[in-house]
Structure 1
C-alpha cells in the first residue's frame, strides 16, 4: 500500500513538470544577475520592517496572480485606455498597496543592477517566499525563468478566486481545476494565518444570521460579539486579523483557531465541519511541521502553474506596464 501511494505521488509530481516548466531552474540568474536574491532580500526586509502587513499582502498578491492565467505578473499591470486590468476587478481592489510597492521597489533595484534581465513574475515569486520566511514561515525553493504576460483583463478574474461565501464544494472544485487537491487546498488556505479581512467579507456571519441566531452559531460567542462591535458601523475600511491569536506570525495557529470557533471567514470555519477537510485541519493544528511541508509543496506547485517562457512572454521594464503599446490580446494565455 505504501509503495502504491508513493508511486501515485511520484506520478502526480512528475506530471506537474511540463515541457515549459522544465525550462525553469533555481540557478537561472546565477550568471546574468548574480545579485538577484540578495537585492530582493534587502528590499523585502526593509519593507516588512516599515510595514508589517507587507508579507500577508504579497502572499495574497502572488496567489491572486497565479490563479488567473498562471504566474505571469499580469495582476501587476495597471489599467489603460485599451483595457481594464485584473487589479481593477472588484475582488482585487482590496489588495494592499504595500504588496505592489515592494515588488516595484525590487524591480527598480534590479533594473539598475541588471537591466532587462529579471521578470516581474520571478520577483513576485521570490519576494513572496522571502517575506513568508521573515514572519516565521517555511523556506522553499523557487524555480526561476518565468516571463511576464503581455496583457491583463478584468474579465479573466471571475471564477478563479475563492470568495468567503462560497460552499466547500465550489472551493474544492475551483482548486481541482488548477490541479490542486484537497490536502493542498487546506494547506494554501493556511496563508490566512497572517493578514486581515474587511468587515464586508464576514459581516453576514455577525448580524441577523438566521431566525434563531443573531450570529453564525459555529462562531465562538465571545469572538462573534467582539466582531459585532468592530463592524457595527458598517464601515468598509474596518478589518480584523484572520488569526486573532498570532496575527503577525506564520504558524499553525490558524487551524487551532478553527477548532475553537475562531475562524474569521465562513469558508475558513466550514473546513472544520466538512469531512473532506476536517482531518487535514486537525493534522495541521496538531503538527506545524506537517503544515509547513504541505504548504511549501503546494506553493512550489502553484508557482509553476501555467508559467510563460520564451516568446510566450517578456521581461517588462516596469511591472505595471507592458513594454509596448501594441498589445496583441491573443498572446494572453487563456485562463
Structure 2
C-alpha cells in the first residue's frame, strides 16, 4: 500500500472513531452515575401530574418535535429573549405561540437541580417528559437515550424556516423531513402524534373560507360534511383564534389509529394531514397501519421517535447544561 493510500485509510479510521465516540456519548442510562435518580424523578413528576391534566401530554410531545426540528434537540425552544438579546427566540415564532408546558418542564428542572445541580440538560428533560407523558395516557413507550446538551442560540426566523406549518404540501414536508435525516415513513408515523391534542382555527381556517386565496373557496380535498360541521359548529368565522378543535374528533385523548382512519375519509384537519394521502408511498404506509394491529403503530411510532430524538444533538463539550431552561448560563 502506498503512503498516500495508507494515510487515507488512517484518516478514515480516525473519522470513524470520532463518529463512534460522538454517538457513544448519547446512550441509555447516561446519568446512572452522575445523577442516578434523574429518570425516576422525571417519571414520578409526570405520573403525578399528567393523569390530572391529560390534555398536556399532546403539547409536551409537540414541544419535542418543535425543538428537534430547529437546531436539533437542544432545548432551544425553551429560551426566552433577554434584554441584551437582539432577536426574538423560537418561542415568539408563530408555530410556537400555542405551545404549552413550559412551566411543567421548569418544574422537572427544579427538582433535578435540587438532586444534582448542573448535571441534567433541559434537552434531555424534554425528551424524557414527552415519552413519559405519552406512556402515562396509554400511548407507546420508547427507549430515550440521554447525554444531550443545551444550545445557546434560539432564533425566531429559524423556527419559521424549519417547523413544518399546518398548510404544508407534500413536497415541502418531504424536503423538511429529509433535511433532518427523516424519511417518508417517519413523516407518516410522526404525524400520527395528531391522534392526540387540539388545534386553533387559524391553523386550518383557510381550507374552509379562503382556499383560493381570494377570500372564498373551500379545499376540495376536505370532506364537505366535515367542513360544514367545522364552519357551523366550531370556526364560525375565519379569524376565530380562541376556539379549539380536536385534531382527532372523538378520540383526541387516546393514542390510537383513529387519526389515520380519518385521513382515508378526507377528514384530516390540516393541509399537511391531507398531504400524506397525495403520495402513493405515504398512502400505502397509512393503509398498512389502519389494517394492522395497534401494537404495530406503537412499535413503529417508537422507532421514529428514537430517530427524531437523535437529530443534530449536542454532546460532549458542545453547548452547556443550563441552570434554568429559559436562559443560557
Superposed pair shares fold, TM > 0.5:
yes
Find the counterpart in structure 1 of residue 96 from structure 2: 92
User: Are the equivalent residues in 1 in contact too, given 2:124–2:147 (CA < 8 A)?
Assistant: yes
Is there any run of 5+ residues in structure 2 with no aligned partner, and where?
1-15
User: Are the equivalent residues in 1 in contact too, given 2:54–2:137 (CA < 8 A)?
Assistant: no
Find the counterpart in structure 2 of residue 222 from structure 1: 225
Matched, 1:138 2:143: no
Post-superposition offset of 1:18: 5.4
Find the counterpart in structure 2 of residue 164 from structure 1: 166
Q: Matches of 2:299 and 2:37 in 1, distance apart?
A: 28
User: Are the equivalent residues in 2 in contact too, given 1:47–1:54 (CA < 8 A)?
Assistant: no
User: Are the equivalent residues in 2 in contact too, given 1:21–1:304 (CA < 8 A)?
Assistant: no
Higher alpha-carbon deviation: 290-299 or 119-128: 290-299
Matched, 1:319 2:319: no
Report SS of the residue matched to 1:60. Answer: helix
User: Are the equivalent residues in 2 in contact too, given 1:136–1:251 (CA < 8 A)?
Assistant: no
Matched, 1:72 2:74: yes
User: Are the equivalent residues in 1 in contact too, given 2:51–2:136 (CA < 8 A)?
Assistant: no
Q: Matches of 1:293 and 1:262 in 2, distance apart?
A: 25
Correspondence 1:272-283 to 2 at 5 A: 272-283=277-288
Report SS of the residue matched to 1:272. Answer: coil
User: Are the equivalent residues in 1 in contact too, given 2:78–2:325 (CA < 8 A)?
Assistant: yes
Q: Evaluate the alpha carbon distance shift between residue 18 and residue 175 of structure 1 in structure 2; reply closer, same or farther with a 3 A threshold.
A: farther
Deviation string 1:211-258 (CA, Å, 9 cap, x unpaired) is 9x9533333333211210211133211121110131001111110111
Q: Matches of 2:203 and 2:20 in 1, distance apart?
A: 37
Correspondence 1:104-183 to 2 at 5 A: 104-183=106-185
- Give the superposed CA RMSD: 1.8
Q: TM-score, normalised by structure 1?
A: 0.86
Post-superposition offset of 1:259: 1.2
Find the counterpart in structure 2 of residue 303 from structure 1: 309
Is there any run of 5+ residues in structure 1 with no aligned partner, and where?
1-13, 324-335
Find the counterpart in structure 2 of residue 247 from structure 1: 252
Q: Matches of 1:150 and 1:272 in 2, distance apart?
A: 38
User: Are the equivalent residues in 1 in contact too, given 2:74–2:148 (CA < 8 A)?
Assistant: yes
Find the counterpart in structure 2 of residue 10 from structure 1: none
Deviation string 1:47-66 (CA, Å, 9 cap, x unpaired) is 32332221100111111101
Q: Matches of 2:210 and 2:70 in 1, distance apart?
A: 34
Q: Evaluate the alpha carbon distance shift between residue 240 and residue 33 of structure 1 in structure 2; reply closer, same or farther with a 3 A threshold.
A: same
Deviation string 1:174-193 (CA, Å, 9 cap, x unpaired) is 10111111011110111111
Report SS of the residue matched to 1:240. Answer: strand
Aligned length: 305
Find the counterpart in structure 1 of residue 190 from structure 2: 188
Correspondence 1:10-89 to 2 at 5 A: 19-81=21-83, 82-83=85-86, 84-89=88-93
Q: Matches of 2:75 and 2:21 in 1, distance apart?
A: 21
Q: Matches of 2:158 and 2:205 in 1, distance apart?
A: 27
User: Are the equivalent residues in 2 in contact too, given 1:70–1:306 (CA < 8 A)?
Assistant: yes
User: Are the equivalent residues in 1 in contact too, given 2:142–2:302 (CA < 8 A)?
Assistant: yes
User: Are the equivalent residues in 2 in contact too, given 1:47–1:102 (CA < 8 A)?
Assistant: no
Post-superposition offset of 1:208: 5.0
Post-superposition offset of 1:261: 2.1
Q: Matches of 1:223 and 1:47 in 2, distance apart?
A: 34
Q: Matches of 2:281 and 2:227 in 1, distance apart?
A: 26
Report SS of the residue matched to 2:131. Answer: helix
